[in-house]
Structure 1
Amino acid sequence: MKKLRNILLFLMYTLISIDVLIALPAFPGAGGYGANTRGAYGSPDHPISKPLILKVDSASSFKSALGNSNPRIIIFTKGGTYDLGGSDAKIYNPYITIAGQTAPGGGVCFKNGALRVDANNVIIRGLRWRTGMPRSTGSNRDCIGIEGDDLKDIIIDHNSLSWASDEIAVSWDYEDRITWSWNIISEGIGTHGYGLLAGTYVKNSSIHHNLFAHLVMRMPECNNGTNGEIINNVMYHWEGKATDFITGTQYWDVKKNYYKQKVEESDHKAIKIYWPGYNQYIINTNSRFFIEGNVGPNRPSSSSGGEWDMVYLEDGGGSGSQYAGPLRANTSVLTAPPVVRVTEHKAEDAYNVVLEKVGATAPLRDSVDLEVINDVIN
C-alpha cells in the first residue's frame, strides 16, 4: 500500500512538474508562440537539469559550440567582432541557448556569414549580427535564418541584425511555434535588402516589439499556409510596401503596430494584401486578417478613421474596409492563442517602448543601433 502511494505521489508530482514546465516562459518577459521554448533545458517530454556551459572567445570556438551534440548554454568570455570568414555558423543539434548578453566590454558582433538554425528548442539572445556580404547567385546572405523542415520552439529575442543582402531574418518551410521579439532589423543591403520573411507553411509565429528600419520591404512578409500575430512593431522607411501578405491561405492578427514614413514616401503602402485574382501572388478568399489599432499612413492615431484605412488591396480597388470583402475578420483569427500571451500596448505607446528597449542592449547599445534609432526619432 505504501509503495502504491509513493508511486501515485511520484506520478502526480511528475504531471505537475510537466504542467509547470509547459507554462513557464523561456525567460522573464518572453511572449508569443515561441515563449515556452526551453532551449538548453530541454522540453516537457525531455527535461534537462544540467546542460553544458560552453565558453567561447572566437568565431571558431563559437562554431564548435554550436556543433556540440549535448544540451548547451553558450556564453562569451571575449567581446568585440567575430569574423566568420565568409562561411555560415550552423545549429544542427537541439537544446541550445545562446546568451550574447554575457559578452564583456561592448558586447559581441558577428560579420561575414549568417547564422543558420536547423534544430528544435533554440533560444538566441543578445547578439549583434551584421553580415556585410553582397548577394550572390545561389547563396542567401541573411543574418539569422530558421531553415529546416518541421522545426519548432524557437525564440529570437533582443538581437541587432543588419547589413544583409537577402532577408535579414527568415523562417521557412513547415516550422511551428516561433517568436521574433525585441530585435532591431535594419539597413538591408542593395535592391534585395529585405526585413523578415515568414515563409511557406510556418505555423504559429509571433512577431512582436521589433524595430524594422531602412529596408526595401518585408516588415514582415508572410507567405502561403502561415498564421500568427504581428503586434507592437515599429516600421520605419520602406520602399513600396512595409507589411505584406502573398499567396495561398493565411490567418493573421495585425495589431497595434506603428508605421512611420519619411515625408517623401507618402504614397508607399503600410500593409498590402494581394487581392484574389490579381496575379501569382494572390491570397485565397478563405484567408482572414484581423487588423486592429495600427497607426501610420491614412491613420494618424489608433482612435481615428477605420481599422482598414492603412490596408491596400492590390487590384482589389484600394484602401479601406469597403474593399476587404471576405478577408476581413472582426475578431482574432488565432484559433489556438499562445500559452504565454504578448504584453500589448497601444501603438502610440509601443513606439516609445520599442525604441527604448529594442535590440542588443546589454551591456550597451553600439553606434550602429544608436544611429538607426536616432533616424527613426528625427
Structure 2
Amino acid sequence: MANHDRRTFIRALGLGATGAVASTYATGSVAAATTITIEGAGYDIWNARDEFHYYYTEVDGDFDVTVRIDSLENTDDWARAGLMVRQTLNDDAEHAMIRKTPGNETSFQWRSDDGNDAESTTSGGTGEAETSGGTMQATWQRLVRSGDTIEAYGSTDGSNWTLIADISPGEIDFAGSAYVGLAVCSHNEGTLTTAEFSNLSGLSPSDNQDIGTVEVGGSVSTGSGDGGGGSGDTDPVVSTGSASSVDSSSATLSGGLDDLGGASSADVGFEYRETGGNWSATATQSRSSTGSFSEDVSGLASGTDYEFRATVAASDGDSDTGSTNSFTTSDDSGNGGTSGDGAYFDLSDGFASPSWFDDSVSVHRVQNATRSELANAVQGSGPRLVVFETSGTIDLDGDELEVTADQCWIAGQTAPSPGITLTQGLFQVNADDVVVQHLRSRVGPGDSGNIQGNDSFNSADGTQNVIFDHCTASWGVDECMSVGYDSTDTTLSNCLVYEGLYDPYGNGEDHNYATLIGDGADNVALLGNVWAKTRGRVPRLKSGTRSVVANNVMYFFNEATNMDGDTEASIVGNLYIPQDLEDTAIEGGNAYLEDNVTDPSSTPLTGGTSELSSRPLWPSGLSAMSSGDVESHNMNYAGARPADRTSNDSRIVSEIQDRAGDAYTDSPYDYWVADHEEVGGYPQLPENTHSLNVPSSGLRDWIDQWALAVEDPNASPP
C-alpha cells in the first residue's frame, strides 16, 4: 500500500499513526474474562510449509481482531503465538500472522501465495516494516482486514496501537472468505508449548486442529480466568527469567511480576526441581507493584539439570505460574562457566577479566553483515555490548578492522545460525578491556596486496585485559591468531586456529604460522585451544614473555612450542600430535613442565628447555584438566559455535580425529578463491536474521546463555 493510501485507510479507522482503533469490523468475541489456553507443537510456521496448532473460525470479508498474549512457554527462541489469517487449512497456505516469541519482540510475517517461502518484517520483507527493525515490545495484538489490505498492530496496553506493517494487494491476496484465529507453535518437534490468551475481541473461534504434520497433537481449553490486562478483577501475570551465579550447589533465580491483576499486593517466588522430580518452593516476597524479583537457592546437587518457574499468589486469591526454564549446576571442579555445561575454561580463568562489564553498557546491534556496520559498533567511546541480529560473511575489503572502543564485549554468539565469518582482513583489538566471542576470521590471500602480513585475529601492541574466547582463526597470511608486543593480561581460550597459508602470494614464501606472543607480553593465558595444520609457532613465545600454556591440542606441525632464551612459561596438560616434526615439540626458554604428552609417545617432547621446579606464573584458582581428557574436550568445545560448526571447522575437527589432512594449504592468488578443492574458497554464509530482546538487567547472564546455546547442543538460547 502506498503511504498516501495507507494513511487514508488509517484515518478511516479513526487513528493517527498511533492511537485507538475502533472495532469497525467485529465478528463476535469471546468474553474478556475468558482465558484461552492453547498447547501446540510443530517445527515452525515459516518457509514453504507450516506445523502448528490453530484455534479458528471462517470469516467472510473484513475483520478487526484483538487479543492479549498473557504467556508463552519458552520451548525455543522462535516458538510463536499470535493472531493469524489463513486462506486455507493446508500446511502451505497463504497467510499473515502477528507473532510473539519468547526470545524476540513482536513482529509480522506472511506467505504471499500457496507454497511460497514466508517473509517477515525482520527477514525478506523488511521494506514493509513501519517500526524500527520491524519489531516492537507488545503484549497485545491487532489484526485488521479492510478489502484486500491486511494490517498488523501491537500495543502495550490494548488502547494505544502502533502499526507494525501493512500488506497491500499484489503482495498478498486473500479470497473473500478466510480462516482467522490463534496460532501456536513450539518450534521444537515433539514438544508442546503452552500459550495463554485473554481479551479476545472481534472473533469467536469455533474449531481447532493441528496444521501440517506434527509429532504431538495440540489442544485448546478455555476457562473463567479474568485475563490479565483488562479492567476490574483480573489474574496476576508472572514471568520466569533466567538463572545466574550458578555453581555446584547454588543459583540465583530471576523472574518478573508483570501484572497484579487488580489486587493490592501479591506474593512472588519460585518452584524448582531436579528435571522430572518433585517441585520445591522458595521463600516468597510480598510486592505491591510490578517489577523484577529474584531468590537464591542452595543445597543443589553438582552437575545436575534443574527446572524452575516463577509463581505469584495475589491478595485477592488469584494466582499464576510462569513458564519453565532450566539450568545445570557445575561439577565440583569449579571450572566451566556459570551454566555448568559447555567448555571447561571460563572467561575469567586466565589473567584477563570481564569484571568491567555491567548492565550500564550501551547495546549496539549489527543488523546487516557489512564492514561499515560492524565498524560502527566496535569503534567509538563508552562501554558497550555488540550483538548480532544477522548471520553472514563480512568482507573486510582487504584492510584491517580495528576495535578501538575500550570496554567492548563482542558477542558473536547472539547471531542466528550459522553465525558471523570475517574474510579478507585482519580483525584487531586495539583497545583495553575487550571480549571477543564466537566469531570466525579467514583472511586468505585476498585479491590485492593490502593484506600481506595480516593475521586473522590479534591484539595490538600495549593492549591490556583482552579476551578472545571460542573464536576460529584460519587462513592467516602471517600468523592466524596472535598477541601484541608489550601487552598485559591477555587470554586466548577455547579457540580453533588452523591452516595458516603456506604460500599466500604465489612466490614460494614460507608462512603457515599459528600464534605468536609478541616481545614483552606479560600474563598471557592460552587455555583449551586447538592448533591444527600449521607449520610452526604453536605457539611462539618471544623474548621477555610470560605465558601459561594449558590443555591445548597441537596437530600436524613442523615446529611447535618455541621459546626465546629469556621466556618464562608454565606449560601444563597439553597434547602434541606431530606429523612432520624436525626436532622436539617444546624447544628453548625457561618453563615449568607438567603432564604434557605426545602422540605417538615415541615423539621427543623437549629439547634445550631449562625446566623450572615451580610455576613462574599461574592464574589464581585455575585447575588444569588431565592431558588424557584434553583431546575429547577440545574437539567438542573449541572454535566459534562448536554446537553449530560450519563445514570448514567440522572438516578440521574430523581430520584431527582421523589423523588426516594435507601438510600445507598452498594458496596462490590465481586459483585459491575459486578453485581450491580442499577449502572451497571464501565462505558465503546466508544472512539469516532475528530480532533480539536484550534485557535491561542481567546482561552478563543473558550473553552467557547465548554462548552456551552455541557451545552445547543440549542448551537453548535465553
The TM-score with structure 1 as length reference comes to: 0.76
Alignment of 1:219-298 (within 5 A): 219-239=538-558, 241-247=559-565, 249-262=566-579, 265=580, 267-273=582-588, 288-296=590-598
Residue 60 of structure 1 deviates from its aligned partner by: 1.1
> In structure 2, how many angstroms separate the alpha carbons of the residues matched to 1:142 and 1:330?
35
Match of 1:163 in 2: 475
> In structure 1, how many angstroms separate the alpha carbons of the residues matched to 2:402 and 2:582?
40
Match of 2:471, as an amino acid? Answer: N
Match of 2:455 in 1: 142
Say if 1:93 and 1:345 are closer, same or farther in 2 by CA, change over 3 A: same
> In structure 2, how many angstroms separate the alpha carbons of the residues matched to 1:376 and 1:83?
29
Identity level (%): 24
> In structure 1, how many angstroms separate the alpha carbons of the residues matched to 2:639 and 2:574?
17
Say if 1:366 and 1:260 are closer, same or farther in 2 by CA, change over 3 A: same
> In structure 2, how many angstroms separate the alpha carbons of the residues matched to 1:162 and 1:181?
16
Match of 1:50 in 2: 360
- 1:217 equivalenced with 2:544 (yes/no): no
SS at match of 1:269: coil
Match of 1:339 in 2: 620
Say if 1:269 and 1:26 are closer, same or farther in 2 by CA, change over 3 A: closer
Match of 1:75 in 2: 387
Match of 1:373 in 2: 653
- Structure 2 contact 445–477 (Cα < 8 Å) conserved: yes
- Structure 2 contact 398–451 (Cα < 8 Å) conserved: no
Match of 1:356 in 2: 636
Unaligned runs of 5+ in 2: 1-334, 339-345, 503-509, 659-718
Residue 129 of structure 1 deviates from its aligned partner by: 0.8
- Structure 2 contact 399–450 (Cα < 8 Å) conserved: no
Say if 1:68 and 1:155 are closer, same or farther in 2 by CA, change over 3 A: same
Residue 76 of structure 1 deviates from its aligned partner by: 0.8
> In structure 2, how many angstroms separate the alpha carbons of the residues matched to 1:206 and 1:118?
18
Q: CA deviation digits over 1:58-114, x for unaligned, max 9?
A: 221001111121211111111011111112111122000000111112111010111
Say if 1:300 and 1:233 are closer, same or farther in 2 by CA, change over 3 A: farther
How many equivalent pairs are there? 307
- 1:330 equivalenced with 2:645 (yes/no): no
Q: CA deviation digits over 1:131-175, x for unaligned, max 9?
A: 1126959953111121132x2111100011101110111112211
- 1:123 equivalenced with 2:435 (yes/no): yes
- Structure 1 contact 298–310 (Cα < 8 Å) conserved: no
- Structure 2 contact 541–564 (Cα < 8 Å) conserved: yes
> In structure 2, how many angstroms separate the alpha carbons of the residues matched to 1:137 and 1:86?
6
Match of 1:81, as an amino acid? Answer: T
Say if 1:115 and 1:266 are closer, same or farther in 2 by CA, change over 3 A: closer
Q: CA deviation digits over 1:158-210, x for unaligned, max 9?
A: 01110111011111221111110000000110221211111100001100100
> In structure 2, how many angstroms separate the alpha carbons of the residues matched to 1:178 and 1:131?
22
Residue 116 of structure 1 deviates from its aligned partner by: 1.3
- Structure 1 contact 219–242 (Cα < 8 Å) conserved: yes
- Structure 1 contact 209–231 (Cα < 8 Å) conserved: yes
- Structure 1 contact 104–363 (Cα < 8 Å) conserved: no
Pick one of 398, 405, 410 that aligns with 1:93: 405
Match of 1:310 in 2: 605
- Structure 1 contact 168–196 (Cα < 8 Å) conserved: yes
Unaligned runs of 5+ in 1: 1-24, 42-47, 274-282, 302-308, 314-323
> In structure 2, how many angstroms separate the alpha carbons of the residues matched to 1:345 and 1:26?
11
> In structure 2, how many angstroms separate the alpha carbons of the residues matched to 1:148 and 1:195?
18
- Structure 1 contact 26–37 (Cα < 8 Å) conserved: no
Residue 330 of structure 1 deviates from its aligned partner by: 2.0
SS at match of 1:129: strand
> In structure 1, how many angstroms separate the alpha carbons of the residues matched to 2:643 and 2:533?
25
Larger radius of gyration: 2
Match of 2:656, as an amino acid? Answer: V
Say if 1:145 and 1:266 are closer, same or farther in 2 by CA, change over 3 A: closer
SS at match of 2:394: strand
Residue 31 of structure 1 deviates from its aligned partner by: 4.0
- 1:192 equivalenced with 2:494 (yes/no): no
- Structure 2 contact 398–450 (Cα < 8 Å) conserved: no
Say if 1:127 and 1:137 are closer, same or farther in 2 by CA, change over 3 A: closer
- Structure 1 contact 113–131 (Cα < 8 Å) conserved: yes
- Structure 2 contact 636–642 (Cα < 8 Å) conserved: no
> In structure 2, how many angstroms separate the alpha carbons of the residues matched to 1:32 and 1:250?
22
SS at match of 1:238: coil
SS at match of 1:54: strand
Say if 1:350 and 1:91 are closer, same or farther in 2 by CA, change over 3 A: same
- Structure 1 contact 119–148 (Cα < 8 Å) conserved: no
The TM-score with structure 2 as length reference comes to: 0.41
> In structure 1, how many angstroms separate the alpha carbons of the residues matched to 2:571 and 2:599?
15
Say if 1:353 and 1:144 are closer, same or farther in 2 by CA, change over 3 A: same
> In structure 1, how many angstroms separate the alpha carbons of the residues matched to 2:336 and 2:411?
12
> In structure 1, how many angstroms separate the alpha carbons of the residues matched to 2:630 and 2:602?
14
> In structure 2, how many angstroms separate the alpha carbons of the residues matched to 1:221 and 1:340?
26
SS at match of 1:61: helix
Residue 246 of structure 1 deviates from its aligned partner by: 1.8
Say if 1:220 and 1:140 are closer, same or farther in 2 by CA, change over 3 A: same
Match of 2:418 in 1: 106
- Structure 2 contact 577–600 (Cα < 8 Å) conserved: no
> More deviation in 178-187 or 253-262?
253-262
Match of 1:250, as an amino acid? Answer: T
- 1:65 equivalenced with 2:377 (yes/no): yes
> In structure 1, how many angstroms separate the alpha carbons of the residues matched to 2:537 and 2:392?
30
Give the RMSD, CA atoms, in angstroms: 2.3
- Structure 1 contact 106–363 (Cα < 8 Å) conserved: no
- Structure 1 contact 211–233 (Cα < 8 Å) conserved: yes
> In structure 2, how many angstroms separate the alpha carbons of the residues matched to 1:242 and 1:362?
25
Say if 1:119 and 1:257 are closer, same or farther in 2 by CA, change over 3 A: same
